[in-house]
């Protein structure tokens, strides 16, 4: 998330956890995940971020109940590598090149970037998971769609392991990503069941322009790799927000 540069966002160059053409917090503004600039103060970052405090469709949420529905399948067409990688001070982000798309009954949405949170931002039935990955897509209209994958300790995931071994451990410039980092390797094979609900960016300016597509089945990664990520980002997750009157749908 870094934020008003629509052109950079659409080319995957913006240095932010959720980059897209819909607008983000002003470059250089200070926000954190704790302390005096933490989530309860994000509404004061700038005028555009006021919605962080007053919005009615904020994310993430705790999914306590859902409605089964005939949701369209997620049609993911990603290439087999990432373009660049950056530690932007809030997360490890990998920017995608051109030609990576997502469709789910509408689209295509272009994959801009993917990044990680520790612990998970979404909860399921009050349960928080060790980590969460977000794959951020933008439609030509400016709408966003984020495929989210919860992460648990289990057998090693070769792609995530490669990200961990090559990630910049200090905030800095964007660099070329390792060619072995294939985003497809971070998703379960076969049909992807998911929850769907309307929400927002999970960082300032918290714009309510996101269609959330949270996969129901977590992915397994090595516990040691999650520990290595936590050594760089001990906590980079926004607290759960009020669901209000939103319906959460679940694919059948």
Using CA atoms, how far apart are residues 39 and 42, in angstroms rounded to an integer? 5
Three-state DSSP class for residue 227: helix
Using CA atoms, how far apart are residues 164 and 251, in angstroms rounded to an integer? 32
Using CA atoms, how far apart are residues 129 and 119, in angstroms rounded to an integer? 6
The 8-class DSSP code of residue 143 comes to -
- Told to judge if 90 belongs to the known catalytic residues of this protein, a careful annotator would answer yes
Using CA atoms, how far apart are residues 225 and 154, in angstroms rounded to an integer? 11
Both tokens assigned to 173: 């410039």
Identify any residues that bridge with 55 across adjacent strands, giving them in sequence order.
none
Residues, the chain, total? 252
Using CA atoms, how far apart are residues 17 and 1, in angstroms rounded to an integer? 4
Backbone angles phi, psi at 208, to 5 degrees: -90, 65
Kindly state the helix (H) or strand (E) to which residue 210 belongs, with its residue range: strand 210-215
Q: Which of 5, 90, 117, 134 is catalytic?
A: 90
Would you please indicate which residues are annotated as catalytic (active-site) residues? 90
């Amino acid at each position: 998330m870094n934020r008003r540069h629509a052109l950079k966002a659409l080319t995957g160059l913006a240095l932010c956890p959720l980059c897209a053409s819909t607008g983000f917090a002003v470059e250089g503004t200070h926000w954190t995940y704790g302390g005096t600039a933490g989530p309860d103060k994000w509404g004061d970052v700038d005028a555009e971020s006021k919605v962080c405090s007053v919005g009615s469709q904020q994310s993430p949420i705790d999914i306590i109940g859902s409605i089964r529905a005939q949701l369209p399948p997620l049609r993911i067409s990603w290439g087999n590598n990432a373009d660049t990688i950056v530690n932007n001070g809030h997360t490890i982000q990998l920017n995608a090149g051109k030609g990576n798309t997502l469709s789910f009954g509408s689209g295509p949405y272009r994959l801009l970037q993917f990044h990680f949170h520790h612990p998970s931002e979404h909860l399921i039935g009050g349960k928080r998971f060790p980590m969460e990955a977000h794959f951020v897509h933008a439609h030509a209209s400016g709408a966003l769609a984020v495929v989210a994958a919860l992460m648990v300790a289990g057998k090693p995931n070769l792609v995530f392991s490669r990200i961990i071994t090559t990630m910049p451990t200090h905030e800095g410039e964007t660099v070329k990503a390792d060619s072995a980092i294939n985003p497809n390797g971070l998703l379960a094979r076969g049909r992807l069941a998911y929850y769907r609900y309307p929400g927002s960016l999970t960082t300032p300016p918290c714009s309510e322009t996101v269609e959330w597509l949270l996969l129901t089945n977590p992915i397994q990664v090595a516990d040691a790799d999650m520990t290595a990520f936590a050594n760089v980002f001990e906590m980079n997750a926004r607290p759960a927000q009020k669901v209000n009157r939103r319906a959460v749908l679940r694919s059948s």
